[in-house]
């Protein structure tokens, strides 16, 4: 801006002095026209030298100042006066730069992949003269960084199988970044800000194989889950059936025990009835108190059949059968036969 303003001023001065000198010449006052002509010449010379010698370096840039082609100093943001005839400015962008790289690589098991990556870097402004002397321009330096990043990425990916790359892709990108940083930072006068593997694409055939494998693994996991679920359900059903069977067994045992107790009670009742009948018929009864194995006490009866006939003994037996019949009688009256005398027919009791 300063150069432009001065250029306008010097141009106006040059034009003014030239016009004035022309007027003097037109009036044939040659001696008086020499001074304006010299002034115009000075203004013209200044117009060529001064405006073009002002150089502006914008924020985020760094300039390498070359004196007759030799890099001698670095200029940061600001405006400077350096004679353009001897001093030239090479402007470098010192902001963070993005390199978008696309390349092909091979995995350890020879699977082809298309790799897309982004490398962010920033030049070391303090090393701008070294960059100028070694690489000349930022474009040459960027191309060199791209070559190194591509080479290191391919080398790193080649140490993994394709499946391993798919499974651990998130952890591979930091490894690639670390390798590129350690190679580029010290030797190429830049700071690697970040390296990101934005995409890795395998062939359609391989991706189809991976997809089929994942589906098979999912189906296998599903089958194992269903198997485990079936086993658990079967074990539950078995446990329920077992508990039900145990409950039925306990019920059966209880019923059987109840039947035993009923049978014991019935047997005791019959025994007592037989004792009472025998006592009513004049049989001698002997009672003996005994202690059972469980600690309880009971009475044992013994009928003395001494001197009794078989008919008397049979009478006791028939009487007991009659008592049993009465216990099971359904209430129907016995049959009556009319005649000179009445006969009562007592049905013979059955076992049912």
CA dist 90 and 74 (Å) reads 10
More confidently predicted of 183 and 205? 183
Name the β-bridge partners of 291. 297
- Whether residue 352 is contained in a domain is answered as no
The three-class DSSP label of residue 322 is helix
- Whether residue 251 is contained in a domain is answered as no
72 with 114, same domain? no
115 contacts 198 by C-beta, under 8 angstroms: no
340 with 268, same domain? yes
| Closest to 199 measured CA to CA, from 100, 109, 106, 114 | 114
| Whole-number pLDDT of residue 344 | 38
Average pLDDT over residues 268-294: 77
108 with 86, same domain? no
- Whether residue 247 is contained in a domain is answered as no
Q: How many independent structural domains does the chain possess? A: 3
Name the β-bridge partners of 304. 284
Structure tokens that stand for 305 in this block = 């059949």
> Per-residue confidence at 335, pLDDT binned at 50, 70, 90?
low
- Whether residue 230 is contained in a domain is answered as no
pLDDT tens sequence across 118-156: 999 998 888 888 888 888 888 899 999 999 999 999 999
CA dist 37 and 133 (Å) reads 45
- Whether residue 14 is contained in a domain is answered as yes
Average pLDDT over residues 333-347: 46
With 70 as the cut, is the pLDDT of residue 87 above it?
Answer: yes
196 with 115, same domain? yes
The continuous run of DSSP H or E covering 262 comes out as helix 204-280
Cα–chain-centroid distance for residue 44?
A: 77
282 with 194, same domain? no
Taking the alpha carbons at both ends of the chain, their separation in whole angstroms is 135
Among 3-17, 117-131, 285-299, 309-323, which is the least confidently predicted range?
3-17
Instruction: Provide the CB-side half-sphere exposure for 177 (13 A, CA).
Output: 19
With 90 as the cut, is the pLDDT of residue 101 above it?
Answer: yes
126 with 196, same domain? yes
| Whole-number pLDDT of residue 77 | 80
CA dist 334 to 68, 341, 348, Å? 155, 16, 11
CA dist 217 and 210 (Å) reads 10
Range of the domain at 308: 260-344
- Whether residue 235 is contained in a domain is answered as no
Backbone angles phi, psi at 161, to 5 degrees: -75, 160
| Per-residue burial over 87-107, b = 16 or more CB atoms within 10 Å of its CB, e = otherwise | bbbbebebeebebebeeebeb
Q: What is the CA radius of gyration of the chain?
A: 63
Last-in-domain residue among 75, 92, 109 = 92
More confidently predicted of 39 and 305? 305
With 50 as the cut, is the pLDDT of residue 346 above it?
Answer: no
Average pLDDT over residues 52-65: 82
More confidently predicted of 329 and 303? 303
With 90 as the cut, is the pLDDT of residue 100 above it?
Answer: yes
Average pLDDT over residues 147-174: 88
Q: What is the pTM assigned to this prediction?
A: 0.48
Among 44-48, 136-140, 222-226, which is the least confidently predicted range?
44-48
Instruction: Provide the CB-side half-sphere exposure for 240 (13 A, CA).
Output: 6
> Per-residue confidence at 341, pLDDT binned at 50, 70, 90?
very low
Name the β-bridge partners of 119. 99, 195
- Whether residue 314 is contained in a domain is answered as yes
78 with 102, same domain? no
40 with 125, same domain? no
181 contacts 195 by C-beta, under 8 angstroms: yes
| Per-residue burial over 152-181, b = 16 or more CB atoms within 10 Å of its CB, e = otherwise | bbbebbeebebbebbeeeeebbebbbebbb
- Whether residue 252 is contained in a domain is answered as no
283 with 307, same domain? yes
Give 65-76 as a DSSP string.
EEETTEEEEEE-
175 with 101, same domain? yes
| Whole-number pLDDT of residue 345 | 44
Task: Return contacts of 305-311, CB within 8 angstroms, 24+ apart.
Answer: 308/283
Average pLDDT over residues 280-287: 78
Last-in-domain residue among 71, 92, 113 = 92
62 with 100, same domain? no
Last-in-domain residue among 156, 178, 202 = 202
Instruction: Provide the CB-side half-sphere exposure for 276 (13 A, CA).
Output: 9
| Whole-number pLDDT of residue 303 | 76
With 50 as the cut, is the pLDDT of residue 212 above it?
Answer: yes
DSSP code of residue 124: -
Q: Highest mean pLDDT range out of 90-104, 248-262, 278-292, 314-328?
A: 90-104
């Amino acid at each position: 801006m300063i150069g432009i303003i001065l250029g306008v001023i010097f141009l106006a001065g040059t034009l003014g002095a030239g016009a004035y000198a022309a007027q003097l010449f037109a009036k044939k006052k040659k001696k008086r026209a020499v001074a304006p002509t010299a002034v115009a010449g000075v203004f013209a010379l200044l117009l060529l030298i001064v405006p073009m010698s002002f150089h502006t370096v914008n924020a985020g840039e760094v300039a390498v100042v070359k004196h007759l082609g030799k890099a001698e100093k670095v200029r940061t943001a600001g405006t400077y006066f350096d004679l353009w005839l001897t001093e030239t400015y090479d402007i470098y962008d010192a902001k963070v730069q993005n390199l978008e790289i696309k390349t092909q690589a091979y995995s350890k098991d020879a699977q082809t992949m298309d790799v897309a990556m982004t490398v962010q870097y920033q030049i070391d402004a303090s090393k701008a003269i070294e960059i100028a002397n070694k690489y000349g321009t930022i474009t040459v330096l960027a191309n060199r960084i791209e070559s190194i990043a591509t080479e290191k990425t391919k080398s790193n990916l080649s140490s993994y199988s394709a499946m391993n790359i798919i499974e651990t892709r998130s952890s591979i990108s930091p490894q690639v970044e670390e390798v590129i940083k350690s190679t580029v930072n010290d030797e190429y006068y830049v700071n690697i800000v970040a390296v990101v593997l934005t995409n890795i694409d395998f062939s359609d055939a391989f991706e189809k194989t991976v997809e089929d494998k994942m589906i098979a693994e999912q189906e296998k996991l599903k089958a194992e889950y269903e198997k485990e679920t079936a086993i658990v359900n079967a074990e539950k059903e078995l446990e329920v059936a077992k508990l039900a069977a145990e409950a039925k067994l306990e019920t059966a045992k209880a019923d059987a025990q109840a039947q035993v107790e009923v049978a014991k009670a019935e047997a005791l009742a019959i025994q007592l009835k037989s004792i009472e009948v025998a006592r009513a018929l004049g049989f001698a009864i002997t009672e003996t108190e005994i202690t059972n194995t469980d600690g309880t006490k009971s009475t044992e009866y013994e009928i003395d059949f001494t001197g009794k006939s078989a008919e008397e003994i049979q009478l006791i037996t028939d009487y007991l059968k009659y008592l049993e019949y009465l216990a099971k009688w359904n209430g129907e009256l016995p049959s009556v036969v009319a005649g000179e005398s009445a006969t009562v027919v007592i049905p013979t009791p059955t076992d049912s």
